[in-house]
Amino acid sequence: MKRKPEATKIRLPRKDATYEELADFFDRHESVDLLKAGITEVDPDRSDLDQMLLRYWKEPNTKQLNIRIPATAKRMIERLARRKTVEVSTLVRMGIMDRMRREAMGR
C-alpha cells in the first residue's frame, strides 16, 4: 500500500520577528499552502475595502512603501513609465490603485 506523503509542518515566525524575518517567511511560503494549513484565511467581507478606497482618493501621498522586485521588472516599469510620460512612482501607484479597485469590487 502506498502511504500519503506527510504534510510538512510550517513553522511560523516568532511574535517579535523583524520585518526582514517576516518578509523571508512569506517569500518562502506560498499563500495557498498557508490557506491549506489554516494559518491564513480568506475574508469575503469587502465593505471596509470600499470605505478605504473612497478615503484614499482624498488623502495626500505621505506614506512610503519599499518593495523588492527583479531587476528586469524594474527596467520594464521604467520603460512603461517613459512611454506613458509619467514618473515611475506614479505608474506603480496607478497600478496598485487599479488592483485595489478591482479587489474592492470582488473581481
pLDDT digits (tens, 9 = 90+) for 2-53: 555 555 688 888 888 887 888 888 888 887 888 888 888 877 776 777 777 7
User: How far lies 105's CA from each of 41, 59, 74, 91, in Å?
Assistant: 19, 21, 28, 21
Which grid coordinates belong to 31?
A: 499563500
CA nearest 33: which of 13, 14, 7? 7
For the beta carbon of residue 32, count every other beta carbon within 10 angstroms: 9
- The string of pLDDT tens digits covering residues 53-85 is 778 778 888 888 888 999 999 999 999 999 989
Domain boundaries, the chain: 12-42, 45-107
Which grid coordinates belong to 96?
A: 496598485
